[in-house]
Structure 1
Amino acid sequence: MPESLSRVASAVLLALAALSAPPAHADDVTPVAVTVNARAALATVPATGIGANHAIWDANLGTDQTADLLKDAGVKLLRYPGGSYSDIYHWADHTAPGGYVAPGTDFDTFMRGVRRTGAQPMVTANYGTGSADEAAAWVRQANVVKGYGVKLWEIGNENYGNGHYGNGWEADDHADKSPAQYAREVVAYADAMKAVDPTIKIGAVLTTPANWPDGLVTAGDDGTWNKVVLSNAGSKIDFVILHWYPGALDRTGHVEDMIHLARRQIATYAGPGSERIGIAMTEFNTGSSSNGTNTQPGALAAADAYATLLAGGVFTVDWWNVHNGIGAVTQVEGHTDYGDFGLLSSAGCTSDGSVCEPPLNTPFAPYYALQMMSRFARPGDQFVRAGTDQPKVVAHAVRRPDGDLAVLLINTSSGTSYPVTIGYAGFSPASGAPALLTHTNGATSITSSTGGTATSQTLPPLSLTTVVLHPATAQTGLPGAPGQPVAANVTDKAATISWPAAAPGRRAIAKYEVHRQVGAVSEQLGETAGTSLTVGNLRPGTRYTVNVIARDAGGGVSWASPPLTFTTGTPASSSCTVRLTDQNDWGNGYVGAIDITNNGAPINGWTLNFSWPRTWQSLSGGWGAVWTQTGSDIKIVNDPANPSLPTGATATVGYVGNYTGPNVLPAVFTLNGTVCRTE
């Protein structure tokens, strides 16, 4: 045959051979190194961490079977009345004009199911077609008349979707659909509702960083949705509401910056006392029907996202939805994916009746992800850093109040069983086979067993595995954990860290150690006998997360303190000053302007350097100088026709930047090798 056809035939044979080849066995695979660092503490697992959404169009919302399944999954928060329906729902007569209300879904029925599940309720008040008085009456009915004790109340759902930014899906009868009007109404709702029950918590809707319409500013607005809402209603807000449908299974790398940017906006705009404001992810779904919405890949992504969000301090992550309905049907990893965003089957069929879901309330794979999460990370446990050297294997860990450690291992490979070796810092595991919880591709339950060792396990393909470890020695008589650290006098190279003293154990506390988190390992920054330490040799414009541990006179070590995250600045004075402004943002790109001021001697020929903080950022083009990008590094060289920058002069250059994740702007710039002060 011709040579070209021969090459094609060879390629086909190779492809067929690959398809028929057995999955890689653990004996043939390089072991994955897993690191668990019990000294690098993150957030404590909240009582409301594992949540889900109920919708009034779901006829099974109030059934005992549904409630019992949710209880078995460990769901501890249920949100009502369901997404965009919240802005058309009127609780008093149980109607939603323009939408369908299923029988047996009224508020009292919802609350009965909440109690049977053993969860807390979250209620979304009708902002779009309701009023502050209607919401206050609901609070009265719920907490005064019925005594339900509903503490968490949202004001509307995705109200930025009311058409103000061009796209609209959320019902909104207000003539003014701006963030300023929403903020005014949040104040009115909060005042009316708290006049009935001052103990409730009010949540306001924000846009999720790097998700539409975050970053957009329309005519007449004083800033983005988040800036305007927080600036005008911050004093009335107890928590903010984010929704996240990443649309892919590999987006948990965005979470840390997503939460960081949200917290920074709260701190910048919400006014005094803003540290009280919590973050709730009241709608989450992987949103990836092509890669597995309700099959195992979606479940693995769900567990990873829940763990990452909760470790970052989000106080609830609420799956959309308990029941949702059949969508696009595909085959994923050997199983039928119904494109259903629910935890449980609705038993629906495609429009032509060719494919039907399994019987009603059959759990889908993400159900087992939530169940695994609730068994792995229990309320009161403290997340600690964990990491691996293999992208296909993800690790999370928690330390329990009784001294145990639990490690969640996620193998996202569809064809490889990975052996893992686990190393520990700040924890010594007992010998013997640890307890295991495992969920594999297509399994209809989580299996419990014992096997392997504390330092060696094998992970099946497409699996969730929780390893529960006891400490080698009894954890008694040790110091208590130091309190929440705070940072003061933060400069470009130093910061003073202070913390409440730890309670001594059997022996007196000899010293405190301050440890910086560097991935899954720790770097000790210093130690002191007191409760304050100034740390130096820090890098300008760098985000640091630190913990404090107490060590007693016999060498006994406490749990790590809660984490403290702070960001160093740039020099208070320098021979150059740089000001970067985001002049126009459209959700995945922006126009940036950089003003470069020479505070020193005249310059003839200049080069400005900076680096993108994240791999998902890039340069589309620049002007006013010669721009080049190498990897994540940007170099800006003066226009050859205008090389001089006299003392006191300012040169302005501009660029278009692209991003596909949270857009953390560059903070450190060097002019001819000198670190500039950044304004």
Structure 2
Amino acid sequence: MPRTLLRAASAALLTLTALTIPPAYAEEVAPVAVTVNARAALAAVPDTGIGANHAIWDTNLGTNDTADLLKDAGVQLVRYPGGSYSDIYHWADHTAPGGYVAPDTDFDTFMRGARRTGAQPMVTANYGTGTAQEAADWVRHANVTKGYGVKYWEIGNEIYGNGHYGSAWEADNHADKSPAEYARNVVAYSDAMKAVDPSIKIGAVLTTAANWPDGIVAGGDAGTWNKVVLSMAGPKIDFVILHWYPGAYDKAAHIPDMIYLTRQQIAAHAGPGSERIGIAVTEFNTGTSGAGENTQPGALAAADAYATMMANGVFSVDWWNTHNGIGPVRQVEGHTDYGDFGLLSSATCTSDGSVCEPPLNTPFAPYYALQMMSRFVRPGDQFVKAASGQAKVVAHAARRPNGDLAVLLINTSSDTSYPVALGYAGFSPAGGAPTVLTHTNGATAITSATSGTATTQTLPPLSMTTVVVRPSAVPAGLPGAPGQPTAGGVTDKAATISWPAATPGARPIVKYEVHRQNGANTEQLGETGGTSFTVGNLRPGTRYTVNVIARDSGGGVSWSSPPLTFTTGTPATSSCTVRLSDQTNWGSGYVGSIDITNTGAAISGWTFDFAWPRTWQNLDGGWNATWTQTGSNVKVVGTGPLATGATANIGFVGSYSGPNVVPSVFTLNGTVCTTQ
């Protein structure tokens, strides 16, 4: 045989061997357990949840192509006139002194696009260089003259960036740049605008938990920005405005605390009836430019964050931006990332012209995250708890009015396909293959197929997958869901839960069950034939989320009530009291001062203990005692005796890289103290 043929035959043999003899060390990936609890209800899905920002410097703001693409993505709300430009924009003559205004981006053009998209508009009135009268005239033009019915109106954009705390990027011509001055003007704007159309909703700017300048008290102020604004303007507003740019793709775990702390501030400072005040995140983007912003990592983080925020009751999450423009260019997960914060390509190039984006309006990966969200949940659905046993796999779920269950599964692994074993509580899936929607790394569309089973699916690397599962049966005549529960008489160990009665179905309701959410599982705390139940044996300083379900005489079970979240306190009386005060805060850390008062018998020595509520909190140092931290637990050993009635003051520096949930449970020599 000629040498060349011999080499060819040898190569073919080697290739065949490689193909037919698998390596002995290949490992099979274990299935990921995903649990979905249809009875652990979270927030209802709003009709404005999926939003996007427009900007008057975008020449494509009002085009039909842009409007149609947003419609195809399922965008339900569009915001105008665009970030910080809002505080220099004058709607009547369509000017923004000091900025660029593109042709055909006036308000009426924006409204034509919003209507073509089928989205509700949100308008940001000019606070920085405008007046209450100018805003009221805008309401008159929009809702009286034109009949647009614009419901949501923000007062300014990121006004805390006016230089009051040092950094100044937001235009503000007011001589007084304090939160008190902003609050006074919010009241004036609200009065003037609602005099034109009482049906509109007014939003006020707040700082976002653990995002600068949250927690900072500037000289002369009566408190933080949020405390002052809510205390003065709370009765005049209908929603609050957060902006969130986490700068990384693994921050969705911060969202529940971020929203919970905002609700706590509203309840504490906004006055009677504050439960009516909603929360909107009117600017959101996932990462830092060039690190996967418009490639698949950004899309996966976007889907996770949209679902988490809406499940926690945010009524609108608005992506920044529809078009934005090229930034730092890198290769991310096998694809070119243009560092563009837009949903759609602007077709712009780098300054030297060496790299250009794809053709105008080409969807970037986060566009498909919004589109997936619109197919995963629809208005009228209700989010329910879901949990994954693998950190690389994220799970969300929602129950539909027709009884279907939709499960969103996100695989953030770059190189591993994960098999998933789905388990359900409070839901029995039908047999057969479910509908499966999938978007993978680099894909230019969401695919739809009937594949796998209700309990087994395989997730490609860097993918979003929605599985729509039919119930095995839809029983008729079930009772309606109980109404929104409330908590009263909350102590360190007990709370009384009350709720509006459910509507009976075909059979009478015989009892209600109170269930606590514990991850994706539920724990029944008790049952009653009435509409109120006192829960005991609770732990001090612990956050509880509960649902109520109704059960009829035939064993039929209702949907869950909306969730109720409350936090237990500390003992009303104890042999010690503790007061923790935030002396100085800089947005990522603070100086804490703790007064410990011994109200019991004199003690010769003392040990003081508490735990950080979150993994992103740490002790950076302490004084007036010996401080140590082990895991999340902090131990403080005193330097001497503590007489009856005596107070010891100790201090520390704490740092945090997420929402700062302050410790609330402290023990002195093992006894839980009363926290003041």
For the pair 1:327 / 2:327, whether they are aligned, the reply is yes
Instruction: Using the TM superposition, give the Cα deviation of residue 532 of structure 1 relative to its aligned residue in structure 2, in angstroms.
Output: 0.7
Q: Which residue of 1 aligns with 2:500?
A: 500
SS of the equivalent of 1:322 reads: coil
Q: Which residue of 2 aligns with 1:652?
A: 649
After superposition, what is the alpha-carbon deviation per residue over 1:130-183, rounded to whole angstroms, capped at 9, x for unaligned?
000000000000001000000100000000000000000000100100000000
Instruction: Using the TM superposition, give the Cα deviation of residue 476 of structure 1 relative to its aligned residue in structure 2, in angstroms.
Output: 1.9
CA–CA separation in structure 1 for the residues paired with 2:251 and 2:564: 24
Q: Which residue of 1 aligns with 2:246?
A: 246
Structure 2: 5+ residue runs without aligned partners? 1-21
Match among 660, 665, 670 for residue 668 of structure 1: 665
Instruction: Using the TM superposition, give the Cα deviation of residue 556 of structure 1 relative to its aligned residue in structure 2, in angstroms.
Output: 1.1
Equivalent AA in structure 2 for residue 661 of structure 1:
G
CA–CA separation in structure 1 for the residues paired with 2:32 and 2:292: 25
Are the structure 2 counterparts of residues 596 and 26 from structure 1 closer, same or farther at C-alpha, using a change threshold of 3 Å?
farther
After superposition, what is the alpha-carbon deviation per residue over 1:236-294, rounded to whole angstroms, capped at 9, x for unaligned?
01000000000000000100000010000000000111000000000000032343000
CA–CA separation in structure 2 for the residues paired with 1:197 and 1:48: 21
Q: Which residue of 2 aligns with 1:68?
A: 68
**Contact 2:290–2:340 (CA under 8 A) maintained in structure 1:** no
CA–CA separation in structure 2 for the residues paired with 1:287 and 1:342: 12
**Contact 2:84–2:171 (CA under 8 A) maintained in structure 1:** yes
Equivalent AA in structure 2 for residue 361 of structure 1:
N
Q: Which residue of 1 aligns with 2:518?
A: 518
CA–CA separation in structure 2 for the residues paired with 1:454 and 1:350: 47
Give the alignment's Cα RMSD to 1 decimal.
1.3
Q: Which residue of 1 aligns with 2:416?
A: 416
For the pair 1:571 / 2:571, whether they are aligned, the reply is yes
Instruction: Using the TM superposition, give the Cα deviation of residue 26 of structure 1 relative to its aligned residue in structure 2, in angstroms.
Output: 11
For the pair 1:491 / 2:488, whether they are aligned, the reply is no
SS of the equivalent of 2:317 reads: strand
CA–CA separation in structure 2 for the residues paired with 1:460 and 1:402: 29
For the pair 1:623 / 2:623, whether they are aligned, the reply is yes
Are the structure 2 counterparts of residues 50 and 26 from structure 1 closer, same or farther at C-alpha, using a change threshold of 3 Å?
farther
In the TM superposition, what are the counterparts of 1:457-472 in structure 2 within 5 Å? Answer: 457-472=457-472
Q: Which residue of 1 aligns with 2:404?
A: 404
TM-score (norm 2): 0.96
After superposition, what is the alpha-carbon deviation per residue over 1:193-249, rounded to whole angstroms, capped at 9, x for unaligned?
011111111000000010000011111100100000001111101000000000000
CA–CA separation in structure 2 for the residues paired with 1:265 and 1:485: 20
Structure 1: 5+ residue runs without aligned partners? 1-21
Equivalent AA in structure 1 for residue 406 of structure 2:
A
CA–CA separation in structure 2 for the residues paired with 1:268 and 1:253: 24
CA–CA separation in structure 2 for the residues paired with 1:670 and 1:217: 29
Number of residue-to-residue matches in the alignment: 655
After superposition, what is the alpha-carbon deviation per residue over 1:507-538, rounded to whole angstroms, capped at 9, x for unaligned?
11121110000111111100111111101000
CA–CA separation in structure 2 for the residues paired with 1:565 and 1:394: 23
In the TM superposition, what are the counterparts of 1:29-178 in structure 2 within 5 Å? Answer: 29-178=29-178
**Contact 1:489–1:495 (CA under 8 A) maintained in structure 2:** yes
Q: Which residue of 2 aligns with 1:589?
A: 589
Q: Which residue of 1 aligns with 2:541?
A: 541
**Contact 2:299–2:365 (CA under 8 A) maintained in structure 1:** yes
SS of the equivalent of 2:464 reads: strand
Equivalent AA in structure 2 for residue 330 of structure 1:
R
Q: Which residue of 2 aligns with 1:555?
A: 555
SS of the equivalent of 2:133 reads: helix
**Contact 2:577–2:675 (CA under 8 A) maintained in structure 1:** yes
Equivalent AA in structure 2 for residue 355 of structure 1:
V
In the TM superposition, what are the counterparts of 1:187-586 in structure 2 within 5 Å? Answer: 187-586=187-586
Equivalent AA in structure 1 for residue 442 of structure 2:
G
CA–CA separation in structure 1 for the residues paired with 2:386 and 2:26: 22
Equivalent AA in structure 1 for residue 69 of structure 2:
L
CA–CA separation in structure 2 for the residues paired with 1:191 and 1:352: 51
SS of the equivalent of 2:168 reads: coil
CA–CA separation in structure 1 for the residues paired with 2:252 and 2:347: 31
Q: Which residue of 2 aligns with 1:14?
A: none
Instruction: Using the TM superposition, give the Cα deviation of residue 27 of structure 1 relative to its aligned residue in structure 2, in angstroms.
Output: 7.4
SS of the equivalent of 1:366 reads: helix
Instruction: Using the TM superposition, give the Cα deviation of residue 474 of structure 1 relative to its aligned residue in structure 2, in angstroms.
Output: 1.7
**Contact 2:333–2:414 (CA under 8 A) maintained in structure 1:** yes
After superposition, what is the alpha-carbon deviation per residue over 1:571-626, rounded to whole angstroms, capped at 9, x for unaligned?
00000000001110001000000000001001110000000000000000000101
Q: Which residue of 1 aligns with 2:180?
A: 180
Equivalent AA in structure 1 for residue 373 of structure 2:
M
**Contact 2:290–2:327 (CA under 8 A) maintained in structure 1:** no
Equivalent AA in structure 1 for residue 62 of structure 2:
G
Equivalent AA in structure 1 for residue 369 of structure 2:
A
**Contact 1:348–1:357 (CA under 8 A) maintained in structure 2:** yes
SS of the equivalent of 1:266 reads: helix
Instruction: Using the TM superposition, give the Cα deviation of residue 323 of structure 1 relative to its aligned residue in structure 2, in angstroms.
Output: 0.2
**Contact 2:154–2:202 (CA under 8 A) maintained in structure 1:** yes
CA–CA separation in structure 1 for the residues paired with 2:128 and 2:205: 13
CA–CA separation in structure 1 for the residues paired with 2:271 and 2:542: 24
CA–CA separation in structure 2 for the residues paired with 1:283 and 1:380: 24
After superposition, what is the alpha-carbon deviation per residue over 1:455-503, rounded to whole angstroms, capped at 9, x for unaligned?
0000000000000011101242111100000001000000000111111
CA–CA separation in structure 2 for the residues paired with 1:293 and 1:211: 20
TM-score (norm 1): 0.96
CA–CA separation in structure 1 for the residues paired with 2:27 and 2:637: 53
Give % identity.
80
CA–CA separation in structure 2 for the residues paired with 1:644 and 1:27: 61
Instruction: Using the TM superposition, give the Cα deviation of residue 434 of structure 1 relative to its aligned residue in structure 2, in angstroms.
Output: 0.3
**Contact 2:291–2:339 (CA under 8 A) maintained in structure 1:** no
SS of the equivalent of 1:101 reads: coil
CA–CA separation in structure 2 for the residues paired with 1:252 and 1:34: 18
SS of the equivalent of 2:331 reads: strand
**Contact 2:290–2:338 (CA under 8 A) maintained in structure 1:** no
SS of the equivalent of 2:539 reads: coil
After superposition, what is the alpha-carbon deviation per residue over 1:628-663, rounded to whole angstroms, capped at 9, x for unaligned?
100000000011xxx111111100000000000000
CA–CA separation in structure 2 for the residues paired with 1:634 and 1:476: 54
**Contact 1:87–1:128 (CA under 8 A) maintained in structure 2:** yes
4+ residue runs over 2 A deviation: 287-291
SS of the equivalent of 2:157 reads: coil
CA–CA separation in structure 2 for the residues paired with 1:366 and 1:509: 46
Equivalent AA in structure 2 for residue 95 of structure 1:
T
CA–CA separation in structure 2 for the residues paired with 1:422 and 1:526: 28
CA–CA separation in structure 2 for the residues paired with 1:434 and 1:277: 39
**Contact 1:26–1:418 (CA under 8 A) maintained in structure 2:** no
Q: Which residue of 2 aligns with 1:8?
A: none
CA–CA separation in structure 1 for the residues paired with 2:577 and 2:75: 51
CA–CA separation in structure 2 for the residues paired with 1:379 and 1:284: 21
**Contact 1:26–1:417 (CA under 8 A) maintained in structure 2:** no
Instruction: Using the TM superposition, give the Cα deviation of residue 326 of structure 1 relative to its aligned residue in structure 2, in angstroms.
Output: 0.3
Instruction: Using the TM superposition, give the Cα deviation of residue 38 of structure 1 relative to its aligned residue in structure 2, in angstroms.
Output: 0.6
Instruction: Using the TM superposition, give the Cα deviation of residue 394 of structure 1 relative to its aligned residue in structure 2, in angstroms.
Output: 0.1
